[in-house]
């Protein structure tokens, strides 16, 4: 029997075509997807699609849209063998990371993809990204899906969603997974790195849609002002402060800075330490300039991407965790997001 794949179109360049009268990009009707991409008819797969009533630019994405995607998957989970989510590239890594935490007991592929150029463009990357995402989604072994996690597929590469970040606005090869191997590559053959795949220990599928956005980010730079950090420390609506530090977690040993961090601890704030480097991991205590975080029992961001850090923090806050539980779960590998 043909495998059934549900396409979920949220918006973004991949679902656009050019109106040659105006020169503008407009969304095309996904009910006529075979007219726009006739190559799909060559696939031995039963394709159906659902489109957001109002398609959105990925810059406007928020947790309400993540919940909507999760609910579409939940409502159709029993009827399809896999799901391909079409999404704008700017925030795709955020959405895909969020979904990785929301979907429990997932035993089917959920693959996010997008494109740098619209379908109507002669040099578009959208057709290859979409077609190969579908190919990865229908891969089975002994009637069981090979991929059972949330992924991103882009330009011949399959990534774990919560390990992926967008690094380029100019290249078709726009995404990287700086601290984790590829899950697959598309060449003459589809290659899947089965040894690196994630499998959820839960066997009953359900979704968790609770998020809270009580987080802010402070980035250190040479000779930086601490006025914003002071504001965040004293803001009662901010519970989590993500600190973008140098290297392996180092910060200036400025007395004003250290005093504000100590005050934040007194105010029961959660401090998450992450690096401005795209690759590597936090190593608290390696240098003197990170010892303050050991003193304050700060949370180690390890080798997680910024997209993962943010969505994981929002998700754990949504579970109404106390500070001790938040730290424990944040530093724990929940969905393959950290080494």
Task: Summarize pLDDT for 71-96 with one digit per residue, the tens.
Answer: 999 999 999 999 999 999 999 999 99
Query: 274 phi and psi, to 5 degrees?
Result: -135, 165
Which residue in 304, 307, 299, 297 sits closest to 334, CA to CA? 304
Q: What is the pLDDT of residue 117?
A: 85
Q: What is the pLDDT of residue 214?
A: 97
Is 13 catalytic? The answer is yes
Question: According to DSSP H, which parts of the chain are helical?
Answer: 33-36, 63-76, 92-102, 126-137, 227-234, 255-266, 291-295, 306-318, 323-330
215-330: CATH number: 3.40.50.40
Whole-number Cα distances in Å, 318 to 56, 163, 213, 302: 24, 21, 8, 21
Give the active site residue among 13, 132, 305, 311: 13
Q: What is the pLDDT of residue 47?
A: 93
Give the whole-angstrom CA distance, residue 144 versus residue 299: 38
What are the structural domain ranges in the chain?
Answer: 3-207, 215-330
Q: pLDDT in tens for each of the 339 residues of the chain? A: 899 999 999 988 887 777 777 877 777 666 666 677 788 888 889 999 999 988 888 899 999 999 999 999 999 999 999 999 999 999 999 999 999 999 999 999 999 999 988 776 778 888 899 999 999 999 999 999 999 999 999 999 999 999 999 999 888 889 999 999 999 999 999 999 999 999 999 989 999 999 999 999 999 999 999 999 999 999 999 999 999 999 999 999 999 999 999 999 999 999 999 999 999 999 999 999 999 999 999 999 999 999 999 999 999 999 998 999 999 999 999 999 999
Q: What is the pLDDT of residue 30?
A: 66
Provide the CA 281 distance to its chain's centre, in angstroms.
18
Environment class of residue 135 by beta-carbon count within 10 Å: exposed (0-12), middle (13-18) or buried (19+)?
middle
Are 317 and 214 in contact, with CB atoms under 8 Å apart?
A: yes
Please state which CATH class domain 3-207 belongs to: alpha beta
Identical fold between 3-207 and 215-330: yes
Give the whole-angstrom CA distance, residue 188 versus residue 205: 34
Residues paired with residue 154 on neighbouring β-strands, in sequence order: 157
């Amino acid at each position: 029997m043909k495998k059934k794949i549900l396409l979920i179109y949220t918006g973004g360049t991949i679902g656009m075509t050019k109106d040659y009268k105006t020169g503008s990009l407009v969304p095309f009707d996904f009910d006529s997807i075979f007219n726009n991409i006739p190559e799909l008819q060559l696939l031995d797969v039963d394709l159906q699609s659902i489109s957001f009533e109002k398609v959105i630019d990925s810059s406007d994405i928020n947790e309400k849209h993540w919940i909507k995607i999760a609910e579409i998957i939940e409502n159709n989970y029993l009827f399809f063998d896999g799901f391909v989510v079409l999404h704008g590239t700017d925030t795709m890594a955020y959405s895909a990371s969020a979904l990785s935490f929301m979907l429990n007991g997932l035993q089917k592929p959920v693959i996010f993809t997008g494109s740098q150029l619209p379908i109507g463009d002669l040099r578009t990357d959208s057709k290859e990204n979409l077609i190969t995402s579908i190919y990865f989604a229908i891969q089975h072994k002994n009637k069981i899906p090979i991929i059972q996690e949330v992924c991103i597929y882009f330009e011949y590469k399959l990534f774990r969603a919560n390990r992926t970040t967008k690094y380029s606005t100019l290249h078709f090869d726009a995404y990287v997974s700086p601290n984790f191997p590829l899950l697959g590559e598309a060449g003459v053959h589809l290659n899947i790195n089965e040894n690196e795949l994630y499998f959820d220990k839960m066997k009953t599928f359900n979704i968790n849609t609770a998020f809270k956005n009580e987080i802010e980010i402070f980035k250190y730079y040479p000779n930086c002002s601490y006025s914003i950090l002071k504001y965040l420390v004293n803001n009662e609506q901010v519970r989590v402060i993500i600190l973008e530090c140098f290297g392996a977690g180092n910060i200036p040993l400025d007395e004003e800075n250290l005093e504000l961090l100590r005050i934040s601890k007194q105010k029961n704030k959660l401090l998450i330490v992450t690096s401005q480097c795209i690759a590597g991991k936090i190593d608290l205590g390696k240098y003197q300039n990170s010892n303050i975080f050991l003193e304050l029992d700060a949370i180690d961001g390890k080798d997680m991407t910024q997209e993962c850090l943010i969505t994981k923090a929002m998700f754990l806050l949504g579970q109404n965790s106390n500070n001790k539980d938040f730290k424990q779960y944040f530093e724990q590998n929940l969905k393959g997001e950290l080494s």
